[in-house]
Amino acid sequence: MTLKSLEAIIAEPSPENIRLAASLLKKDEVIGIPTETVYGLGGLISSELAISRIFSVKERPRFDPLIVHIPELAKPSLRWLSERKWIDIESIDKNAQASIEKLMHTFWPGPLTLVLPKHSRISDLVTSGLGSVALRMPSHPVFQALLNELNEGIAAPSANRFGRVSPVTAGDVKAELGTRIPMILEGGQSAIGVESTVIEYSLEKEFRLLRPGGLARERIEMILGRPLLHVESSSRPDRVLSPGMLDSHYAPEKQSIRLIRPIRALSDAELKWVVSHLKQLQPEMNRLSLLTPHGSNAEAASRLQTVSGLEIQRIELSLQASDLESARNLFAALREFDRSESTLLLIEPVEPLSGLFLAIDDRLKRASRPLPI
Ligand code: TXA
Ligand code: MG
């Protein structure tokens, strides 16, 4: 007899199921929870066992710290965060305090994560030993219902195996981690579709963009009244300020290659060079997917098909070239590519990098290798 492994139950977010989810968390379990950005793999920050389970379930290296999700409050203040023993308010410059509170009032609840000096009560397991903690107040009503039931912080990375595409539906979470967790709360497709924007108030008293995400950088800068410093990503774990910003991340399982210029800007000779390069990578290939982040790729696909003789599967993230729509479709499109018969993904570039296109470009770059053309 073979034993079938248990699979996560996808539970409708009824009051009884929210209570059930809360009781699982109190028993040190970790579960799938919907947010407006992507689905999270949540555990109570007070449970060391739950936090280590998050790392093992995700196969995530311990040096990569977690975001703490907090309950909604109409007018959150640093004083409140400090009374809840999440942050160390004394380490925050008085001038910066006003700016941080403006950001919280404008963008919380929502896709903004603030990295602030941590309270000593926050476990080093959550922050990977860093002196700061990442805090986010999610706006998804199911996550908030759960937080209200518990009145405690929930640490939650995206609910995917490390280095893989983030999940935007309960079904995606089940496909990633289904045999490793007991429950996933159903919350529909994530409305934003890319992870939160992470900014840090640093010891040098600067605001730095650690990860572009579901809240446009320009909107944050408007409120701050000055530009955010940008942190370049790195392939060296010891060099990164935000350890989740390693170069290779968000990758589909199959090969993906990105172009530096859109196909419409390539001459026939250049396009032929691209095709011969792709065929070198995959001599047996007979079908490839072409992903275009904004606008139609009908013409590009037909040129590519003529030059290559391959069948082209078209992926268009937003025909209207809307950054919001493109973000919402991004991870679903990468997953669909993985499930499709295409063996290679060719990605057209994003430009200009305004609004959420900055985050879309960031994720696509991490998901692929560049062709120098
Ligand atoms: O939208 C989101 O943020 C989702 C949902 C579930 O809320 N969560 C998410 O978590 O994307 P995760 O673990 O996949 O990404 C967290 C990012 C990583 O890049 C991590 O390195 C960074 O936040 N981070 C967390 N704590 C930090 C800290 N103390 N200092 C610097 N970076 C930190
Ligand atoms: Mg992640």
- The C-alpha atoms of residue 251 and residue 287 are separated, in whole angstroms, by 19
Residue 292 CA to residue 347 CA, distance in Å, equals 6
What spacing in Å lies between the alpha carbon of 338 and ligand 1's midpoint?
25
**Any idea which ligand is nearest the CA of 156?**
1
> What's the pLDDT at 230?
83
Which residues does a 6 A CB cutoff place in the pocket of ligand 1? 35, 37-38, 40, 64-67, 113, 115, 127, 130, 132-134, 136, 138, 156-158, 195-196, 198, 200, 210-211, 242-245
Q: Which amino acid is at 242?
A: S
**Amino acid identity of 118?**
K
Separation of CA 65 and ligand 2 centre (Å): 11
Dist CA 41 CA 57 (whole Å): 9
Answer whether 113's CB lies under 8 Å from 138's CB.
no
**Ligand 1 atom closest to 194 (CA):** 1
Pairing of strands 369-371, 255-259: parallel
* H-only helix segments in 187-261: 217-224
Q: Which of 67, 142, 192 to mutate to test the pocket of ligand 1 (most atoms within 8 A of CB)?
A: 67
Interval between CA 190 and ligand 2 midpoint (Å) = 14
Atom of ligand 1 at shortest range from CA of 127: 29
Peptide bond into 109 cis (omega under 30): yes
Which of 50, 44, 53 has the alpha carbon at shortest distance from 22? 44
- By most ligand atoms within 8 Å of CB, the mutation choice from 39, 91, 113, 240 for ligand 1 is 113
Q: Extract the tokens encoding 251.
A: 């990758």
Distance CA 10, CA 320 (A): 34
* pLDDT at residue 232 in the model: 66
One digit per residue, pLDDT tens: the chain, 373 residues? 566 668 999 999 999 999 999 999 999 999 999 999 999 999 999 999 999 999 999 999 999 999 999 999 999 999 999 999 999 999 999 989 999 999 999 999 999 999 999 999 999 999 999 999 999 999 999 999 999 999 999 999 999 999 999 999 999 999 999 999 999 999 999 999 999 999 999 867 789 999 999 999 999 999 999 999 987 654 434 444 555 555 556 677 789 999 999 999 999 999 999 999 999 999 999 999 999 999 999 999 999 999 999 999 999 999 999 999 999 999 999 999 999 999 999 999 998 999 999 999 999 999 999 998 7
pLDDT reported for residue 239? 44
Residue 314 class from Cβ within 10 Å (0-12 exposed, 13-18 middle, 19+ buried)? Answer: middle
Please state, in angstroms and rounded to a whole number, the distance separating the CA atoms of residues 245 and 249: 8
| φ, ψ (nearest 5 deg) of residue 133 | -130, 140
Burial group, residue 169, by CB count within 10 angstroms (0-12, 13-18, 19+): buried
Residues ≥6 apart with Cβ < 8 Å to 91:
117, 203
Q: Which residues, 6+ apart, have CB-to-CB distance to 263 below 8 Å?
A: 271, 290, 297, 300, 303, 304, 348
* pLDDT at residue 205, as a whole number: 74
Model confidence, pTM:
0.94
